[in-house]
Amino acid sequence: MKHVYKEKTICPYDCPTTCGLLAETDGKTIFSVKGDPKHPTTNGLICKKMQRYEKSVHSPDRILTPMKRTGEKGEGKFVPITWEAAVAEITDRWKNILQEEGADAILPMYYSDVMSLIQRNCGEAFFNRMGACLLIKTLCSSAKSAGYEAVMGKTGCLDPSM
C-alpha cells in the first residue's frame, strides 16, 4: 500500500483568489482536495470547481494526446496523433503563414484556464520574438473583469466566501 499524505498547494485555475488547498496524494494520484484552513485569504473555503478536482484531473474522458481534426470544422471528427506529428504540423503551418503573410498574420489568443497567474504569460517572449500581433489575449477574462469592475468597482480579488 502506498503512503498517502497531504500536500499544501494552491488552486491551478485562472482566478485572482489563488485559494490555498490541501491535496491528499501518494505523489502520483490526487485522492481528494480540501480547502486549507490555514490559508490567510480563503481560510479553508474553495469553490465548487475544486471540490471534486480529483475526478476531473483523473477522468477517463480527459484528452491526454493531441487530436487532429479529420472532418469539417464543427463535425467533431478527430484522430489521435503523436506529439511529434502535432508539433511538426503546427510548425510547418506557422512557417508558411510567416513566409506568405508575415508575422502580423499570427494573432495569439488564449484563456489561461488552469495555467494560473504563474504560467499564463509563458508564451509572451516567443510571440514577441516572432513579431506576432498584439492583443489583449484573455478576451473572456478581460470582458468579465471590465463588467465586474463596472458593477462592483475595482477590487484586489473576489470574495472567496461568495
Helices (H) and strands (E) in the chain, counts: 6, 5
Query: pLDDT tens digits, residue range 32-79?
Result: 999 999 998 889 998 888 889 999 889 999 899 999 999 999 999 999
Higher pLDDT, 118 or 48: 48
Which region among 5-14, 86-95, 145-154 has the lowest average model confidence (pLDDT)? 145-154
Q: What is the pLDDT of residue 151?
A: 85
Q: What is the pLDDT of residue 74?
A: 93
Give the DSSP H or E segment for 139: helix 139-152
Residue 101 phi, psi (nearest 5): -115, -20
Give the pTM.
0.61
Higher pLDDT, 88 or 18: 88
Handedness of CA 80, 83, 86, 88 (dihedral sign): negative
Strand segments, DSSP code E, in the chain are 5-10, 20-25, 30-35, 67-69, 78-80
Query: pLDDT tens digits, residue range 88-116?
Result: 999 999 999 999 999 989 888 765 556 55
Q: What domains does the chain contain, in order, with CATH numbers?
A: 5-57 (3.30.200.210), 63-101 (no CATH), 103-150 (no CATH)
